[in-house]
Amino acid sequence: MYQKTVAARISCRGEALHFGGEVEMSLAPAPPDTGLVFCRLDLPGRPTVTASPTAVVDTRRAVALGQDGWRINTVEHLLAAAHGLGIDNLLVEVDGPELPMGDGSARYFVDLILRAGVVSQERPRRVRVVEEPLWAAEDGSYLVLLPSERPGLTVNYVFTADRRPIPTQYCRFHLGEDDFTAAIAPARTIAFLEEIEALRREGLARSNDCTVAVVVGPEGYLGPLRFPDEIARHKVLDLLGDLYLVGPVYGQVLAVRSGHRLNHRLAQRLAALPAVVV
């Protein structure tokens, strides 16, 4: 396996989910072994940060990367798209504090990457291969990462609704054999109606576009679903994005109710494993 990047520079403009307003983002080719690099064009010196567990500065409702007091928010859907398409090296430039939200899923970023094209680079890809169990748990949420005889990463996710009027959901996905672009990338994030106003008081969720999320009210879903188990699929999407902070992984994940905070804790433990050519 060889490392990959995009074939050409491509740009888009769209609304930010939490901070509101429009931002412009560009994806550009990057040299081998540089990883996924994020750049704030609107700040003096155009500072950059490379995606890694140590670069995470916030996991509240989304993942933010940053350093020295600046940040780029809501990077997990782009990370998931890169993971699903096998993109190892990428320069991401944005002229604001958050990436555009697109349609609330990773499909927006998948489409951009595929429009730019994907090229192999003359450098072998390095993978973290799980050989012993790793786990993280808190407040009734659990993540276990186990060895697997199959190449690639298998994710088993259980979403529980905690007495809300939506059913428990389960999703199983194998990255390496199943179709990420069709099965996982289009799944949108979840939003509970009673939480939206509270988020806005915190300065989050400023977008007024309710089609970018699976909105759940007191009686159930407030709009059509893309999949019957769309929430569980999006949780898989988030997990794939959060774990890609360490690059590609071979193993199998068992997840119950995990979110960005717990995903990040597991990524920190994964980072201690050596990355090897397989």
- Each residue of 11-31: pLDDT tens digit? 999 998 777 789 999 999 999
DSSP-assigned letter for residue 187: P
Least confident piece of the model among 67-81, 174-188, 209-223:
209-223
C-alpha distance from residue 48 to each of 12, 69, 209 (Å): 19, 12, 30
Convert the pLDDT of each residue in 124-135 to its tens digit.
999 999 999 999
Helices (H) and strands (E) in the chain, counts: 6, 20
- Is residue 6 within 8 A of residue 113, CB to CB? The reply is yes
CA 115 to chain centre: 20
Are 118 and 30 contacting, i.e. CB atoms less than 8 angstroms apart? no
- Whether 194 shows a pLDDT value over 80: the answer reads no
Contact status, residue 10 vs residue 115, Cβ threshold 8 Å: yes
Tell me what percent of the residues of the chain surpass a pLDDT of 90. 82
What pLDDT score does 19 carry? 76
What DSSP string runs through 40-74? ETTSTT--EEE-SGGGEEE-SSS-EEEETTEEEB-
Decide if pLDDT at 98 tops 80: yes
- Taking alpha carbons only, the member of 157, 40, 180 closest to residue 106 is 180
- pLDDT at res. 209: 59
User: What is the reported pLDDT for 205?
Assistant: 52
In this prediction, residue 217 has a pLDDT band, given cuts at 50, 70 and 90, of confident
pTM (2 d.p.): 0.94
Q: Which residue has the tokens 């199943």?
A: 178
Is 240 within 8 Å of 175 (Cβ atoms)? yes
Number of alpha carbons in the 13 Å side-chain half-sphere of residue 178: 16
Report percent pLDDT > 70 for the chain.
94
The mean pLDDT value for 99-116 works out to 96
pLDDT of residue 163: 67
Give pLDDT, residue 161: 82
Catalogue all structural domains in the chain, each as residue range(s) with its CATH number: 2-125 (3.30.230.20), 127-277 (3.30.1700.10)
pLDDT of residue 201: 60
- Burial class, 21, CB count within 10 angstroms (exposed 0-12 / middle 13-18 / buried 19+): exposed
Average pLDDT, the chain: 93
Q: Is 148 exposed, middle or buried (0-12, 13-18, 19+ CB in 10 A)?
A: middle
18 φ/ψ angles, rounded to the nearest 5 degrees: -90, -40
What's the confidence (pLDDT) of residue 268? 98
The model's confidence at residue 211, banded by pLDDT at 50, 70 and 90, is confident
Q: Where are the beta strands (DSSP E) in the chain?
A: 2-6, 10-15, 22-28, 36-40, 48-50, 56-58, 64-67, 70-72, 90-94, 118-124, 126-129, 134-138, 141-146, 153-159, 169-175, 189-192, 213-217, 220-221, 249-256, 275-277
Residue 8: pLDDT above 60? Answer: yes
Distance CA 90, CA 112 (A): 13
Q: Phi/psi of residue 246, each to 5°?
A: -105, 0
Active site residue 77: no
Selected residue with higher pLDDT from 200 and 24? 24
Catalytic residue among 83, 234, 260, 264: 260
In this predicted structure, what is the pLDDT of residue 107?
97
Q: What is the pLDDT of residues 29-53, one digit of tens each?
A: 999 999 999 999 999 999 999 999 9
Q: What's the rounded Cα separation, in Å, for the pair 101 and 204?
A: 13
Q: Tell me the average pLDDT across 137-148.
A: 96
